[in-house]
Amino acid sequence: MKNVFDMQGKSKKTFKKSHLISLFLIFLYIVPSLAASEEESEGDTGFIMHHVQDAHQWHFASIGHTELTIWLPVILYSPERGFSMFSSKNFYNEEHEKVSYNGFRLDEHDHVVAEEAGVTVYDFSVTKNVASLFFSMALLFLVFLTIANRYKKHPNSPPKGIQSLFEPVIVFIRDEIAIPNIGKHKYQRYMPYLLTLFFFIWFNNILGLFPGAANLSGNIAVTFVLAVLTFLFTNFSGNKEYWKHIFATPGIPKAILPILVPVEFLGLFTKPFSLMIRLFVSITAGHIVILSLIALTFIFKSYLVGIGTTLFVVFIGIIELLVATIQAYIFTLFSSMYIGAAVAEHHHEHEEDQVDKSLI
Amino acid sequence: MELLSPSLGLIFWQLVGFLILLFVLSKFAWKPILHALREREATIEDALATAEKTKKEMAELKAENEKLLAEARKERDRILKDATAAANHIREEAKAQTAKDTARMIEDARVTIETEKQAALAEVKQQVAALSVQVAEKILRAQLGSEQAQKEYVSKLIKDLNVN
């Protein structure tokens, strides 16, 4: 009985805490809207693309003439000039104008280019997105190593605290995503990848919703890497059946094979391609919608519109929380479906089919 | 278009970062977590199975107890019946024995009485005979006391003999 009361007390506390967090989030959304209505707007919607894209510095906010910016390291490699590393602050002067530094400068798209012609530059800078990636990695390590530690220390006790938040998600990924799609015998090999994938996407989707945060999971380079990894996991675990279905689809007339095989082969690449595009589009679109709604205030310069859009932004923000989770789920689900198709044992089904036919 | 062109640097960092995440989390987070979950599920399943088994065993035990009880009851009834029968038998036997004994005793008594009676009769007969002889002697003494009487008697006897 005592435990029950304790739990009730705790849930009350967390309830209040979650209220505080949501109030804080609403406040964070309101501030830029109100601030925007006071500002002299120039280039009303230009900030949208700026927010959605990567940058060499992490710009949080402008308060009057003070800029809240973290200058991130620029790391460059060019075959002609070797490695160079310096702060991105060097690309701007006192008046916040772009200047060249060390023979490099930022072009109109904020790409680093060399002053001299004929010098190729490979940019490995820790950009805003890379910094965000590091932050999310640290967060993932912190959360899941803490949880793992608790599992090690109290193996048979019920989950507690942050552990009870993530345990159902882990069990869901195992029981509802991995096992039904990959099968009971082979799912274990892919669980670490699927879990890492899900939580990486989920955490970064949610982190991306914070005002001033980077749009990491809505960046096509990130979704590209994740899709490529799923592609590799799928095709390196593909069994004989899988390849036979692609290059010599059984039960199909020989004459159709020349059409079908290229389609199947193309399918190998369209699957991860769709993964890449889906995640990139849904997250980036969500950000653009929110920022566009905020931009309405810039355009109309009215308190009334400010209040209206703020309410709507809060509403979309809640939907974005949902989208963040759903997209992580979908990416993981499709990845496990592709892997499942690659490792599935079709053999027995066909044998049964043949037996059935012979009986008829 | 800027949005659609992946940048080399981010691809590099994302790949490195994700692979580190995958490696470290697999080894130090997912493995122990999944292991612990499996263990726990196995433990719970085990406990449930044990509970189920215990329940079944309890039911079996109860059934067995009931059976034993019924058997005991039956046994008791049988013993009671046997005992009653034995008691009855003993009683009957005792009764028969008593009857027999009584009959024998009566018979004995009868025989004794008969013997005593015979003995008494014999005694009486003897007494009577002795008395008769004494009386006869006395009578004879009285009748044949004189010479004359004796002669008379002898002559009478001779007369009787002559007749024959």
Nearest-angstrom CA–CA distance, A295 and A231: 38
Helices A303-343 and A240-247, interaxial angle, to 10°?
100
Which ranges of chain B would DSSP assign to H, the alpha helix? 8-25, 31-143, 147-163
Interface test with chain A among B5, B12, B30, B45, by most A beta carbons within 10 Å = B30
Q: Please name the amino acid found at residue A347.
A: H
- Contact residues, chain B, for A152 at CB < 8 Å: 32, 36
Q: Which among A17, A125, A7 has a CA at the least distance from the CA of A71?
A: A125
The distance from CA A4 to its chain's CA centroid, rounded to whole angstroms, is 38
**pLDDT at position A155, please?**
78
**Per-residue pLDDT tens digits for A152-205:** 888 778 888 888 999 999 999 999 999 999 998 889 999 999 999 999 999 999
Q: What are B6's two structure tokens?
A: 């992946």
Pick from A25-39, A82-96, A233-247: least confident: A25-39
Mean pLDDT for the stretch of residues A334-339: 95
**pLDDT at position A212, please?**
83
**pLDDT at position A240, please?**
86
B21 part of contact set with chain A, CB < 8 Å: yes
**pLDDT at position A21, please?**
63
Please report where in the chains the tokens 């949005």 appear, as a residue. Answer: B3
Nearest-angstrom CA–CA distance, A342 and A337: 9
**pLDDT at position A144, please?**
95
Nearest-angstrom CA–CA distance, A30 and A310: 6
A124 part of contact set with chain B, CB < 8 Å: yes
Task: Give the A window 64-103 contacts with B, CB below 8 Å.
Answer: 75
ipTM of the complex: 0.81
**Per-residue pLDDT tens digits for A228-250:** 999 999 999 888 888 888 888 78
Mean pLDDT for the stretch of residues A265-283: 94
Nearest CA distance, A245 vs chain B (angstrom): 30
Which of B10, B21, B43 is opposite residue A200, by nearest beta carbon? B21
Q: In 3-state terms, what secondary structure has residue A83?
A: strand
**Per-residue pLDDT tens digits for A105-157:** 888 878 888 888 788 889 999 999 999 999 999 999 999 999 999 988 887 78
pLDDT < 70: residue spans in chain B: 1, 163-164
Q: Do A124 and B13 touch (CB under 8 A)?
A: yes
- Band the pLDDT of A268: cuts 50, 70, 90: very high
Judged against a pLDDT cut of 80, whether residue A353 lies above it is answered with: no
Residues A140, B25 contacting (CB under 8 angstroms): yes
Q: Do A133 and B14 touch (CB under 8 A)?
A: yes
- Band the pLDDT of A42: cuts 50, 70, 90: very low
